[in-house]
Amino acid sequence: MSTAADRREASMALPPLRDGDADAIDRCLETLWAERGLARQSLDSYRRDLALAARWLDGRDGGLARIDRAGLLDYLAWRARLGFSPRSNARLLSALRAFFSHLSLRGARADDPTALLEAPRQGRLLPKALTERQIEALLAAPDTGTPAGLRDRAMLELMYACGLRVSELVTLPANGVNLRQGVLRVTGKGGRDRLVPLGEEAQHWLERYLGEAREPLSRDAATRAARSGRPPAARASTGPLFVGEGGAVLSRQRFWRTVKACAVVAGIEASRISPHGLRHSFATHLLNHGADLRTLQMLLGHSSLSTTQIYTLVAREQLKRLHARHHPRA
């Protein structure tokens, strides 16, 4: 099976997106945002999926808007040869269905080539959670003697203490933190707000970051912006909570690189780390220490309890491993 690097190389070798396809995709996504209120991350994923399909077609048979079922099957076969996951293909199918539904509503197409295509079976993937000892090592990895290291420590502590999604963490506004009450206001999927307690350790590191690191990082960014003629970064009281050396909001990719670098320092193997690893560990450790599912659902910001229940499977698998390791008749 192809690796992620192989898939990236194959996609980079495709021709650039044609203007006609780009316009059709833009109109579809604008409608999805206006009528369904789709989250920005979902829109970005749909854009990547639709653009890759359109680039693979490269205008053949009228481009993406005119593709038929046979063409879609050929494209799915190409993805299968490259080793795209069932989860990735299921998301692609959702994007395509939304795209052709949009064309149908506009009267630009009468049929839907995805109508008889079935979503691939994804199975039930258990989230990977770190052990409590691994978490301690990961949190201690950043060099807190530097502003950037102090920021990274605060971000890691906050993600683990509050069970945040990566996208929620990097887009937290500075005014979303109430240190006096020890709570964080988080805007999650679908624009739903929730209040999450910080915990003493996360509050300690957040206070240190705000008192010692945020202003130097912002000031350095403002200085560089002035030298380059760019507009200065947002004011500390109204801008993003976590700022990078460039003054802008830190990207999910930038934080992911930070997590991987800290994992190396902590001696954690790469296969144990995922972008949501701290969120999964937060949920699993809470369950292991007696939290109930309803509370966990509220803290994670899940709209459905069935989504939260997957973490009970994680805890159950851990119990099985402990039993097999320590019981004399296991």
Q: What residues act catalytically?
A: 165, 189, 276, 279, 302, 311
Assess contact for 175 and 182: CB atoms under 8 A.
Answer: no
How many angstroms separate the CA atoms of 103 and 47, rounded? 16
DSSP for 269-308 reads: -GGG--TTHHHHHHHHHHHHTT--HHHHHHHHT-SSHHHH
Residue 42 and residue 165: Cα distance in Å, rounded? 14
Looking up tokens 């350095």, which residue turns up? 220
**What tokens does 70 get?**
């046979």
Q: Please give the structure tokens belonging to residue 77.
A: 């076969």
Contacts of range 130-134, beta carbons closer than 8 Å, 24 or more positions apart: 130/268, 130/272, 130/273, 130/277, 130/278, 130/281, 132/285, 134/266, 134/268, 134/272
Q: Which residues contact 277 (CB under 8 A, 6 or more apart)?
A: 128, 129, 130, 259
Sorted by sequence, the CB contacts under 8 Å of residue 282 that are 6+ apart come out as: 159, 160, 161, 162, 163, 299
Angle at 278 between CA 266 and CA 174, to 5 degrees: 110
The H or E element spanning position 195 is: strand 193-197
Q: Determine the residue type at 4.
A: A
Q: How far apart are CA 285 and CA 309, in angstroms?
A: 14
